[in-house]
Amino acid sequence: MSIELEEIICGRMRREGGAISFREFMSMSLYYPGHGYYTSAETQIGRGGDYFTAPHLHPAFGALVGRQIEQMWQVMDRPTDFHVVEFGPGMGYLAADILGYLKGSDFFDALTYLLIELNPYVQSQQEQHLLPVVHPHLAPFADKVRWVAPMDVSPMRGCILSNELIDAFPVHVITTVGDQVRPGAAKNQERPGAAKNGDDAFREVWVDGGFGEVLRDCSQELRSYAKEFDLPLPRDCKERFWFNGYRTEVNLVMRDWLREVSGMLIEGFVFTIDYGYPAWQYYSADRSRGTLVCYSGHRVSDDPYINVGGQDITAHVNFSALKRWGEEVGLATVGFCPQGTFMVSMGIDDLLTGMLTRQRYQVEVAQVKRLLLPQGMGESHKVLIQYKGSLEAPTLRGFSLRNQRSSLDG
């Protein structure tokens, strides 16, 4: 826990009249310079850290992602200059596995790999992994990789890649008026006599100086979101859920992010891998407590107000919003499916034939199963690919077995 960060947040609350929105609290907890979870020198990812992602399990994942990106290049008529821009590259394992798989191919010659990393301490670890100084002869990607800020990416042809990025965008938390806020919260600051149906069925959660919760009126943007994605109203919920309150998250940051990445592309793809649901599943009346969770030391918590700055805070992705808002900025949805299905479509069987080692065969098979099977990441994690350009409905191998794009319209 960062006591200094808590004091900084409380100072912000005092300047804002005693409370800030949960979205602002989450943003400061995760991204406040030098103290937030994703900007601190103490951030640890992987088996020895707070969580791990697919590239930590087996290089087959990155190889299949690389295989799909290579097909994107082919579909775009093999441009001589193709950029991959990876947001939030973690320890650099995904980049290394993609480049390792592609090395020696015609595509590799056309490829430039750009990494966007907010945390300078994490970037130094990525550099050690991709550009080792001690053994420079082991840095086969030195002329391929470059670290950049988003503002420095000129419009290009290529692919915007992210793996478990959007789930860490700060979210608004909204709740029905009947919800029980956390102990120590200030009184419910709703308007007297406010309606409990339609747009006024929800209140936004704010956080006060004692890290208790305050309910305030939703902004017009949040009310519009609730209507656009058909969030359940009192008449839709089973009585017991309504009595206990309905609580969920709204990620508006990804709308700005989609606008930003679309502006980076002259032509190309946005390749998103993350855990989440279509809107009709995300905002089911039965999912009455939302999806927000915290991770620290591979332990899961539902309390974002402890260990401030020392734990990850995440919420699942509304893939229907990614599709709809992407279309508004010129990104057509090519396909959507579970991660496990994507990997099978991309040829995991033939890939593994040359990758599994005899010495660690059983261990590696178990690792790949965690990527593929529903009880692992195979069903919880989804793949969404969008396209900007002049091609009409490009077809990609990753969705050859199962394309659930239409489920995002429900």
Q: For residue range 253-271, list pLDDT tens digits in order.
A: 999 999 999 999 999 999 9
Whether residue 213 is predicted with pLDDT greater than 90 in this model: the reply is yes
Q: Which helix (H) or strand (E) holds 369?
A: helix 361-372
Domain boundaries, the chain: 3-36+172-250, 54-168+253-409
Rounded-to-integer distance, Cα 336 and Cα 324, Å: 13
Give the model's pLDDT for residue 178.
56
Torsion of CA 318, 169, 154, 115, to 10 degrees: -110
DSSP code for 378: T
Give the model's pLDDT for residue 352.
78
Mean pLDDT score across all residues of the chain: 87
For the ranges 1-5, 10-14, 45-49, 378-382, the lowest mean pLDDT is seen at 45-49
Rounded-to-integer distance, Cα 59 and Cα 368, Å: 9
The sheet with strand 312-314 has its strands ordered as: 299-301, 293-296, 312-314
Judge whether 187 and 222 are in contact, CB under 8 Å: no
Give the model's pLDDT for residue 19.
97
- Who wins on pLDDT, 42 or 240? 42
Give the model's pLDDT for residue 134.
52
Mean pLDDT of 186-202: 52
For the ranges 53-67, 188-202, 294-308, 377-391, the lowest mean pLDDT is seen at 188-202
Task: Report residue 170 as tokens.
Answer: 């700060």
Whether residue 194 is predicted with pLDDT greater than 90 in this model: the reply is no
E strands in 282-363: 293-296, 299-301, 312-314, 317-318, 332-338
Task: Please report, rounded to a whole number, the percentage of residues in the chain having pLDDT higher than 90.
Answer: 67
pLDDT digits (tens, 9 = 90+) for 388-405: 999 998 999 999 999 999
pLDDT digits (tens, 9 = 90+) for 325-341: 999 999 999 999 999 99
Mean pLDDT of 11-39: 96
Give the model's pLDDT for residue 361.
65
| Phi, then psi, of 249 in degrees rounded to 5 | -120, 155
Task: Report residue 221 as tokens.
Answer: 């943007």
Q: Which of the residue ranges 70-79, 175-184, 230-239, 291-300 has the most confident prediction, judged by mean pLDDT?
A: 70-79
Judge whether 235 and 147 are in contact, CB under 8 Å: no
Rounded-to-integer distance, Cα 181 and Cα 232, Å: 19
Whether residue 52 is predicted with pLDDT greater than 90 in this model: the reply is no
Mean pLDDT of 68-80: 98
Q: Which of the residue ranges 49-53, 169-173, 227-231, 293-297 has the most confident prediction, judged by mean pLDDT?
A: 169-173
- As to burial, measured by CB atoms within 10 angstroms (0-12 exposed, 13-18 middle, 19+ buried), residue 287 is middle
pLDDT tier for residue 41 given thresholds of 50, 70 and 90? confident
Task: Report residue 125 as tokens.
Answer: 């670890």
Give the model's pLDDT for residue 185.
44
Rounded-to-integer distance, Cα 313 and Cα 321, Å: 20
pLDDT digits (tens, 9 = 90+) for 147-183: 999 999 999 999 999 999 999 999 999 998 654 445 4
Give the model's pLDDT for residue 9.
97
Out of 3.40.50.12710, 3.20.20.60, 3.20.20.140, 3.40.50.150, select the CATH number for domain 54-168+253-409. Answer: 3.40.50.12710
Which residues fall within 8 angstroms of residue 124, CB to CB, at 6 or more apart? none
For the ranges 79-88, 142-151, 155-164, 237-246, the lowest mean pLDDT is seen at 237-246
Give the model's pLDDT for residue 191.
40
- Of the candidates 321, 327, 318, 333, the residue with the CA atom closest to the CA atom of residue 404: 333
- Of the candidates 69, 159, 54, the residue with the CA atom closest to the CA atom of residue 397: 69
Count CB-CB contacts under 10 A for residue 120.
Answer: 11
- Who wins on pLDDT, 233 or 180? 233
pLDDT digits (tens, 9 = 90+) for 127-150: 888 887 555 555 678 889 999 999
Give the model's pLDDT for residue 258.
98
296-325 residues labelled b (16+ CB within 10 A) or e (exposed):
beeeeeeebbebbbbbbbbbbbbbbbbbbb
406: left (phi over 0), alpha (psi -120 to 50) or beta: alpha
Which residues fall within 8 angstroms of residue 30, CB to CB, at 6 or more apart? 36, 37, 38, 39, 168, 170, 312, 313
Give the model's pLDDT for residue 187.
46
Largest CA distance in the chain: 71
Q: Which of the residue ranges 10-14, 184-188, 189-193 has the most confident prediction, judged by mean pLDDT?
A: 10-14
DSSP code for 386: E
289: left (phi over 0), alpha (psi -120 to 50) or beta: alpha
